[in-house]
Amino acid sequence: MKYIIANDIHGSHYYANIIVEAFHQHEADKLLLLGDLLYHGPRNDLPRDYNPKLVIPLLNSLKHKIIAVRGNCDSEVDQMVLEFPCLADYTILMDEGRQIFLTHGHIYHPNNMPLLNKNDIFMYGHIHIPISNKENDIHILNAGSISIPKENSAHSYAVLENNTYTLYDENHQTIYVYLIKNN
């Protein structure tokens, strides 16, 4: 299974287009959206081409391919216009014999981890900074933010396939590769 991972689009039509383009370019099976899809929130500047009304049909065009979780800027109003479930605080996938715990990061995060097993994957967004490391035998992955990166990180998204997690910039250029190895 090949996954595109994106989070913190924050209503940017420009960057939502990049994610849809990445989905098709990488011939992914699923698009994992880790929250903060339509709105920028009061702590963030407006992202480039902020237009949630144009982001809605872009995301809905992939509704059968999307697995999404709720971010702290997402609400019930978003579910009224998005044609895929987007209000769960987390979801769990099984892939390559391990659990992938998907969440936004405002409830569950590296300092408040869910119960996971050795070599499982904890994937989150929220902080707008890419992360890929292993702590306490759990792989911790964050694709950064496609629209509002922080701490001088790139506009980014990720691809997960065959135990390889690759972070890409907005131009679809590889930033780095993280190999998910068992202990």
Spell out the SS3 assignment of 33-94: ECCCCCCCCCCCCCCCCECHHHHHHHHHCCCCCEEECCCCCCCHHHHHHCCCCCCCCEEEEE
Range of the domain at 135: 3-179
Q: Using the predicted structure, report yes or no on whether residue 42 has a pLDDT greater than 90.
A: no
Q: What pLDDT sits at residue 171?
A: 97
Q: What percent of the chain has pLDDT over 90?
A: 93
Confidence of residue 8 (pLDDT cuts 50, 70, 90): very high
Ranking 27-36, 39-48, 141-150 by mean pLDDT, the lowest is 39-48
Condensed to tens digits (0 to 9), the pLDDT of residues 73-125 reads 999 999 999 999 999 999 999 998 899 999 999 999 999 999 999 999 999 99
Q: What is the pLDDT of residue 126?
A: 97
As a whole number of angstroms, the distance between CA 101 and CA 116 comes to 8
pTM (2 decimals)? 0.97
Q: Is the pLDDT of residue 177 over 90?
A: yes
- Backbone Cα Rg of the chain: 15
Mean pLDDT of the 61-83 span:
97
**Distance (Å, whole) CA 125 – CA 154:** 14
Give the three-class secondary structure for 21: helix
Query: How many residues are listed for the chain in this entry?
Result: 183
Find the CATH number of the domain harbouring 56: 3.60.21.10
When pLDDT is cut at 50, 70 and 90, the band that residue 183 belongs to is: confident
Given a cut of 90, is residue 14 above it in pLDDT? yes
Token reading at 183: 């202990």
The total number of structural domains that make up the chain: 1
Q: In the prediction, which pLDDT does 74 show?
A: 96
